[in-house]
Amino acid sequence: MKLYNTLARKKQEFTPANGNDVSMYVCGITAYDLCHIGHARSSVVFDVLYRYLKHRGYDVTFIRNFTDIDDKIIKRANETGMESGEVAEKYIQEFYVDMDRLNVERATVEPKCTQHIPEMVELTQHLIDKGHAYAAENGDVYFRVRTFDGYGKLSGRQIDELESGARIQPGEMKEDPLDFTLWKAAKPDEPSWESPWGPGRPGWHLECSAMSEKYAPLPLDIHGGGQDLAFPHHENEIAQSEAATDKDFARFWVHNGFVRINSEKMSKSLGNFFTIRDILAQFLPETLRYFLLTMHYRSPLDFSFEALEEAEKGIKRVYTALDQIEAALGRSKWKKSPFPEELTQELADIEAKWTEAMEDDMNTAAALGQLFNAVRLAGRIAEDKKLRQSEGARDLWTRIREDVAVWAQVFGVFGQQPADFLTELRDKRAERKEIDPDAVQTKLDERQQARKDKDFERADTIRKELEAMHVEVKDTPEGATWDVI
């Protein structure tokens, strides 16, 4: 398997450092607000990587932290009259609600910053003892950037380039504008913990180093997060961890691309900021998850509600095909008739290409394309009267169904019963178009009665009334069903 390593600036063959064991650390949320579409993308990307590594047979220790003390959390606490710990716990639980809806699996370990203060104090003291950090008179502790020769190796930034824009802000007591905070001295009425430098709290960068090192041996096999974290957060993690341990911090650095809203950067000031819940008010969680996988994880992702509607059509096609396969496999009589070997080989090629796509830097977009190819193959057989009743068709459909079940486990989509999902999707689309399902059912019942009474003119009139409501009627042997046009 190849993964793009930001540190090497190229795709590299991934093998764990310790046999079959994989350690993966991904930066989690700062718990002060509801999660947005950017959080959804990062969470889904690394959830699929976690699932795929397990699919390949690796034993994965997945660490995803929660930042539960931070300036933003304190600010929200002051605005709401809550304690900062209450704010953090509230939004951690809200995170779980959103992630559960998106079918994101729990990480193996989910440490919180405030539960690991002793480890952070110890790491800071170790850096001071080695000359890589210093305590200022006001109780702040800073990392000496110039003492770490490798600073900038992840982001590609040079010290000279960083110098030109670096400034010491009022209240800071840095020796050098490039130095960054490891420990913040306590301010009045803020949460704090005791330390050798006085009461205070850890800096943002410090917590990830301390927590990752506690739960996995260095170097980590994979460290991940959004592209926006590469600098300064991940750069600073590398500096403090490697300066303290004299070991590589992580072997592979994996970053997902930005989410843009209608081709613009997402921003509250621009009015194009969407939380996960804003989106799920109009679309099913599985539709959003599927949409997030339709673009390679390193590419920018343009989000729009129109794009979600297109994704909805795609996911509906797959589920409709799976529903038809289930119906076909439910038939009790199959004929022993010739079945073209090339069709079986075509499916084998699709299976190989699916694996090839996932092995090539987790290209979910290409892998989804192979899933659609399998579904189209099933449809072609269903359209051929001579083939669709053959035992060969049964065997191939069974194999497609089994393939999709495996791929569904990796993707985290297409895992529901097709009929249940299609009903759920229909109802969500009806909700968007303000269609009352009860009113539709009433008209369907009236139409059915008109057909029984052989009043076909009235039945046609009702069909047209439903079409005006954006409702399509489908007559089946089991009765009339409906869908949203």
CA atoms within 13 A on the CB side of 331: 17
CA-closest candidate to residue 453, choices 441, 445, 442: 445
* Beta pairing partners, 200: 185, 193
Q: Residue 314 pLDDT > 70, yes or no?
A: yes
Lowest mean per-residue pLDDT among 126-140, 154-168, 192-206, 470-484: 154-168
3-class secondary structure, 339: coil
Report d(CA 70, CA 147) in Å as an integer.
27
Q: Which CATH class is domain 305-419?
A: mainly alpha
Encode pLDDT of 217-252 as tens digits. Answer: 999 999 999 999 999 999 999 999 999 999 999 999
Find all residues with CB under 8 Å of 278, minimum gap 6, and list them.
none
Q: pLDDT grade, residue 21 (50/70/90)?
A: very high
219 preceded by cis ω (within 30°)?
yes
Distances, alpha carbon 155 to alpha carbons 159, 229, 251, 301, 368, in Å: 11, 10, 15, 21, 31
Encode pLDDT of 184-219 as tens digits. Answer: 999 999 999 999 999 999 999 999 999 999 999 999
Distances, alpha carbon 189 to alpha carbons 84, 121, 169, in Å: 11, 21, 22
Rounded to the nearest integer, the mean pLDDT of the chain is 94
Report d(CA 393, CA 56) in Å as an integer.
29
Q: Residue 27 pLDDT > 70, yes or no?
A: yes
Give the DSSP per-residue string, 153-164: TTTT--HHHHHH
What pLDDT does 277 receive? 97
Q: Residue 165 pLDDT > 70, yes or no?
A: no
The topology under which CATH files domain 14-276 is: Rossmann fold (3.40.50)
The two structure tokens encoding residue 43: 């969470």
pTM: predicted TM-score of the whole model, two decimal places? 0.94
Give the domain ranges of the chain.
14-276, 305-419, 433-484
* Beta pairing partners, 5: 10
Encode pLDDT of 35-63 as tens digits. Answer: 999 999 999 999 999 999 999 999 999 99
Q: pLDDT grade, residue 164 (50/70/90)?
A: low
Q: pLDDT grade, residue 161 (50/70/90)?
A: confident
Q: Is the torsion defined by CA of 137, 138, 143, 144 positive or negative?
A: negative
Q: Residue 15 pLDDT > 70, yes or no?
A: yes
What pLDDT does 37 receive? 95
112 DSSP 8-state letter: B
Report d(CA 209, CA 241) in Å as an integer.
6
Q: Are 248 and 212 in contact (CB under 8 A)?
A: no
Q: Are 103 and 288 in contact (CB under 8 A)?
A: no
